[in-house]
């Protein structure tokens, strides 16, 4: 059943990304081009998504558990560290450069447009490289430097 | 094209995941988990990605114009950007969906800071891109 939930959620998520314009890199880059010809329309995506989810999140957490599982699995990290800042900076640089973030990239690989294929291929390599890097350098030994 | 309607659908997708499975809909985290051999719960992650791809196929059939790319970026630009996005989202524990939508909805200080940081970096990146190309 959790598989079906994930399937439906992923399907709807993809439709939302497409309808809102997130799968068109020039619209995303136009949104980030605040000092140029700023296209502010994507504010509506965040507004719509957060507007809905901020309310439903509070209602759902009144329950003691999700419908299909024993407990909620929410992120537990609370610390503000260099990992969070540097990671978000690198992500933002790549996001602005291509106008694509992970969700829209994945949704768009099926479009057959090579721009998305290059992007997603490199993104998966970047993720794998991070996991190797994390295992070698971030786990325990030199944690103090990064966190 | 309707930004608010698209956003609402994304909010509903995140709501379904939280209400039924108790999980956060963070796409980079879901993908990172699939790539990590140590991850135990791979099946729901795979179903989510299949759902995303299925949604992509549906959109392609109904509205192929949703995937129009208007950009002077080269394949090399997409390779570099993709690498930064993959590495950065796992280092920073989230992207536009996990931090930007789910995290801000929870009013998580980490996610608010992450979102401000990646939007700022995105703004700088667009300026740099235009500067290098002489479009500024």
* Radius of gyration for the alpha carbons in chain B, expressed in angstroms and rounded: 17
| Rounded (5°) CA angle B100-A57-B105 | 25
DSSP 8-state code for residue B19: I
Whether A144 contacts B49, CB under 8 Å: no
pLDDT of residue A138: 79
**A82-98 helix and B109-132 helix, angle to the nearest 10 degrees:** 40
pLDDT band at A64 (very low <50, low <70, confident <90, very high): very high
Decide: B60 and A76 in contact? Cβ < 8 Å: no
Residue of A nearest to B70 (CA): A26
Are B62 and A119 in contact, with CB atoms under 8 Å apart? no
B52 and A14: CB-CB below 8 Å? yes
- Residue in chain A lying closest to B120 (CA): A92
The Cα of B36 is separated from the nearest Cα of chain A by a number of Å equal to 7
> Is any Cβ of chain A less than 8 angstroms from the Cβ of B7?
yes
Instruction: Report whether A103 contacts B27 (CB < 8 A).
Output: yes
Residues facing B23 on adjacent strands: A73
What domain count does chain A have?
1
pLDDT in tens, chain B (136 residues): 599 999 999 999 999 999 999 999 999 999 999 999 999 999 999 999 999 999 999 999 999 999 999 999 999 999 999 999 999 999 999 999 999 999 999 999 999 999 999 999 999 999 999 999 988 7
Nearest alpha-carbon partner for B87 in A24, A58, A133: A133
Q: SS3 of B50, please? A: helix
- Average pLDDT (A36-49) is 96
Mapped to the 3 state alphabet, what secondary structure does A46-100 carry?
HHHHHHHHHHHHHHHCCCCCCCCCCCCECCCCCCCCHHHHHHHHHHHHHHHHHCC
pLDDT for A78 beyond 50: yes
Residue B28 · residue A81 · CB < 8 Å: no
B100: tokens are: 């930007």
Alpha carbons A20 and B6: distance in angstroms, whole number: 4
Query: Is the confidence at residue A145, as pLDDT, over 90?
Result: no
Q: What is the mean pLDDT of residues A53-64?
A: 98
With tokens 């998966």, the residue in question is: A124
User: Given this model, what pLDDT does residue A140 score?
Assistant: 54
Nearest-CB residue to A21 (from B1, B80, B106): B1
| Residue located via tokens 């994507």 | A42
Question: For the residues of B54-116, what is the DSSP string, one character each?
Answer: HHHHHHHHH-GGGG-------HHHHHHHHHHHHHHHHHTT--IIIIIIIIHHTT-HHHHHHHH
Domain boundaries, chain B: 3-132
pTM of model > 0.90: yes
Query: Is residue A141's pLDDT more than 90?
Result: no
Q: Give B 103-132 residues with CB within 8 A of chain A.
A: 103-110, 113-115, 117-130
Contact A91 B58 (CB under 8 A): no
- Beta-carbon separation of A86 and B101 below 8 A: no
Per the structure, the complete domain to which residue A109 belongs is given by: 2-146
> Is the model more confident about B19 or about A76?
B19
Cβ B55 vs Cβ A12: under 8 Å: yes
């Amino acid at each position: 059943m959790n598989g079906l939930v994930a399937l439906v959620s992923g399907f709807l998520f993809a439709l939302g990304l497409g309808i809102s314009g997130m799968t068109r890199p020039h619209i995303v880059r136009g949104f980030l081009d605040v000092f140029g010809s700023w296209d502010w329309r994507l504010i509506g995506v965040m507004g719509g998504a957060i507007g809905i989810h901020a309310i439903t999140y509070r209602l759902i957490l009144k329950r003691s558990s999700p419908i299909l599982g024993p407990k909620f699995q929410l992120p537990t990290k609370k610390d503000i560290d260099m990992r969070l800042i540097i990671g978000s900076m690198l992500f933002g640089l790549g996001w602005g450069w291509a106008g694509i973030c992970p969700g829209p990239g994945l949704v768009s690989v099926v479009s057959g447009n090579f721009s998305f294929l290059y992007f997603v291929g490199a993104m998966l390599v970047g993720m794998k490289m991070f996991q190797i890097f994390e295992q070698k350098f971030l786990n325990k030994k030199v944690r103090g430097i990064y966190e | 094209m309707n930004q608010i309607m698209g956003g609402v659908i994304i909010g509903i997708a995140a709501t379904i995941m939280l209400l039924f499975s108790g999980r956060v809909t963070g796409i980079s985290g879901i993908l990172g988990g699939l790539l990590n051999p140590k991850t135990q719960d791979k099946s729901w992650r795979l179903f989510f990605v299949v759902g995303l791809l299925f949604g992509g196929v549906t959109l392609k059939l109904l509205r192929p114009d949703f995937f129009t790319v208007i950009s002077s970026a080269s394949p090399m630009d997409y390779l570099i950007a993709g690498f930064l996005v993959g590495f950065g989202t796992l280092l920073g524990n989230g992207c536009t969906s996990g931090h930007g939508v789910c995290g801000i909805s929870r009013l998580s200080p980490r996610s608010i800071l992450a979102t401000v940081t990646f939007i700022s970096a995105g703004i700088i990146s667009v300026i740099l891109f235009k500067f290098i190309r002489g479009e500024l």
